[in-house]
């Protein structure tokens, strides 16, 4: 297991979210996965559920463990974890500003990302004790 994935998984586990190694093993693979997630959010809207993404025949079937969660929420958590893992791999930490910088550099920045990171700062700060509860608060209501 790479250090990148170790840090990425640690952050996602802290949020109580799945992160299959086949989708996030390296920074490049994680960025590609995020791009796929962003395309899906932009096509179907931020309130779309992961189960809809899984059922659409994408390569993201392994996210079925989180089928009732929102795609935009999950994507925000993944982008935060990507930045945390990158920051820890390179320098030992990260901030929301660094997350946004990494997102811009990786061409995965979206208009809704800053608001998502402000609303859920635990995406990038493992010291926030209630961050595992985010997934329950963020469930889209249909």
* 12 in Cβ contact with 33 (< 8 Å): no
CB 73 within 8 A of CB 135: yes
User: Under DSSP, is residue 2 helix (H, G, I), strand (E, B) or coil?
Assistant: coil
Predicted confidence (pLDDT) at residue 86 exceeds the cutoff of 90: no
> Closest by alpha carbon to 73, among 9, 32, 12?
12
Task: Pick 9 or 106 by higher pLDDT.
Answer: 9
Q: Calculate Rg over the CA atoms of the chain.
A: 14
More confidently predicted of 68 and 77: 77
- Taking residues 24-37, report their average pLDDT: 90
* pLDDT at residue number 3: 86
pLDDT at residue 45 tops 60: yes
């Amino acid at each position: 297991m790479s250090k990148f994935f170790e840090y990425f998984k640690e952050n996602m586990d802290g949020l109580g979210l799945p992160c299959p190694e086949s989708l996030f093993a390296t920074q490049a693979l994680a960025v590609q996965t995020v791009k796929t997630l962003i395309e899906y959010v932009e096509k179907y809207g931020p309130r779309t559920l992961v189960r809809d993404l899984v059922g659409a025949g994408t390569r993201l079937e392994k996210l079925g463990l989180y089928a009732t969660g929102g795609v935009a929420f999950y994507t925000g958590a993944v982008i935060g974890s990507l930045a945390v893992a990158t920051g820890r791999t390179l320098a030992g930490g990260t901030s929301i500003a660094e997350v946004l910088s990494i997102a811009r550099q990786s061409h995965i920045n979206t208009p809704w990302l800053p608001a998502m990171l402000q609303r859920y700062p635990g995406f990038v700060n493992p010291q926030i004790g209630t961050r595992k509860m985010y997934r329950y608060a963020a469930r889209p209501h249909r």
